[in-house]
Amino acid sequence: MRRHLRPAALVAVIVLPGCGQNYPNPFEDPALITTVAPPAGTELVFASDGWANAPGRGRELMAVAADGSSLTRLTFCDSGRPCDILEGALAPDNQRVTVRRVLADTSGDGRLDDGDDASLVYVDLAAQVEAELLPATARASGIDWAPAQDILVYSAQGTGGEDLFRTTPRRPTSDNAQETVDLSCPSFAGAPPNCDVQISELRPRIDAAGTIAAYARIQAGGSAELWIFQTTANQTRVTTAAAGAGLLPGTSYRIGSDTDPTFSPDGRTLVFRHLTAAGDGRGVWEMRTVRTDGSELRTLAAGDAWRGAPDWNANGIVFPEADATGTRLVILQGDGSGRRDITSFPAGFRIDNPRWLRR
C-alpha cells in the first residue's frame, strides 16, 4: 500500500491542489468538430469500427437501443485524419462525453489501437465542440464521469507510475479553477509525494452515489486485482490474484488478472473480466461478478472468446464479445441469465467499452 500524508477523497466539495498536474485551460480555444448527440430511443454508446465497410478503420463512438435498433454513429474523428476513439465516459446529461483518443502510432506497430498513447478529450456532442483535457504524453488508460457531477476520475501516468486522478471537465471561472488531483499520490502544503512506483492503479469506475471507485491494481510482476478507493488512506482489496505468469502482449495484464470493474446499480457487487489465457493476442476473458467484500464470486460468461470491459445498470450487464464467428454486444442479467446479442459485426471488427446512457 502506498503511504500518504493525509486522505484525499474521490469527490470533494473543496477542490484540492494538484500534484503538479494543472494543465492549460483547454476551453480557451475549443475546436469545432462534427458530432451527433445520442438520438431519442438509444440506450447505449460504445466504441467501434463497425461503421466502416471493412475492419481496421479507427473506432468511433456509436449509439444503439437495447433491442439493437437505431444504430447511430456519433463521432466522425476518422474523417480526414487517422484517429481511434478507445472509450467514452458520458456526462449526466448524455450530451457531453470525455473520450480517450489516439492520433499517432506511438507504439510503432503500424496501426492505431489501445497500445498507443491516448489523450483525454472533452466533447460536447450537441454543440459540436471539443477541447483537450490531457495530452497523449500522459497516456490515459481509463476514464469515468461522476453520475451527478462534473467530476472525472481517470488513470494515467503520474508521479508514482500509473495513478488515479480527479479533475473537473468544465469551463473554469475565477472562483472555480479547473484543477487535477493525483488521488494515488497527492501532495499537500508543498510537501513532496511519497509513493510506491511499483504499484499501478488503472481503469477506475465510480459508484452510483459518486463517492467511491473500483479499480484494477497491479503490483510489479503480479496480476491485476480489484480494489475499492474511498480515500488515499482507505482502500480495500476485493479480489486476490494468483502469482503473475504469461504477460499478455502489449498490456500490463498477466494470466489471472482481474480488471475493468463496474458497480451494480445498488453498489454491492462488481462485474469485471478475468484473463484466463493469451488466446489470439487480445486474450481469453471470462465475465465474472463478486460482492464488494470479496464474497460470492461467480462466472457469468466463459469459453474461448475475448470479452471486453462491461457496464451495468437496471437493464442488465452489457459487454462486447468476439471470436472467430464475429463481434457482438451482449446483455446479461446480474445472475447470468437472459443473454441477448443486440449488435453484431463480422469477425475482425471491434466493439469496446459500452456504456449505458445516464438515467
Give 54-101 pLDDT, tens digit per residue.
Answer: 998 999 999 999 999 999 999 999 777 889 999 999 999 999 999 999
Question: Which residues have a Cβ under 8 Å from the Cβ of 157 and sit 6 or more positions away?
Answer: 138, 139, 163
> Of the candidates 292, 278, 338, 287, which has an alpha carbon nearest to the alpha carbon of residue 310?
287
Pairwise CA distance, residues 217 & 164, whole Å: 10
Mean pLDDT, residues 139-151 taken together: 94
Residue 221 corresponds to which cell in the numbers above?
A: 510482476
Give 332-353 pLDDT, tens digit per residue.
Answer: 999 999 999 999 999 999 999 9
Give 194-236 pLDDT, tens digit per residue.
Answer: 677 789 999 999 999 999 999 999 988 889 999 999 988 899 9
Mean pLDDT, residues 141-154 taken together: 94
Split at pLDDT 50, 70, 90, the class of 21 is: very low
Pairwise CA distance, residues 241 & 284, whole Å: 16
Split at pLDDT 50, 70, 90, the class of 174 is: very low
Mean pLDDT, residues 31-44 taken together: 95
% of the chain beyond a pLDDT of 90:
70
- In which residue are the cell numbers 510489479 written? 220
Residue 58 corresponds to which cell in the numbers above?
A: 479507427
Domains for the chain: give ranges and CATH numbers. 26-356 (2.120.10.30)
Check pLDDT > 50 for residue 6.
no
- In which residue are the cell numbers 491485476 written? 224
CB 50 within 8 A of CB 64: no
pLDDT, residue 286, reads: 98
Using alpha carbons, list the distances in angstroms from residue 227 to 8, 157, 170, 260: 16, 19, 28, 11
Mean pLDDT, residues 147-167 taken together: 90
pLDDT, residue 11, reads: 57
Give 255-265 pLDDT, tens digit per residue.
Answer: 999 999 999 99
pLDDT, residue 3, reads: 38
Outline where DSSP puts E strands in 21-83: 31-32, 44-48, 60-64, 72-73
Q: Is 7 helix (H, G, I), strand (E, B) or coil?
A: coil
Check pLDDT > 80 for residue 190.
no
- In which residue are the cell numbers 480515500 written? 231
Pairwise CA distance, residues 168 & 57, whole Å: 31
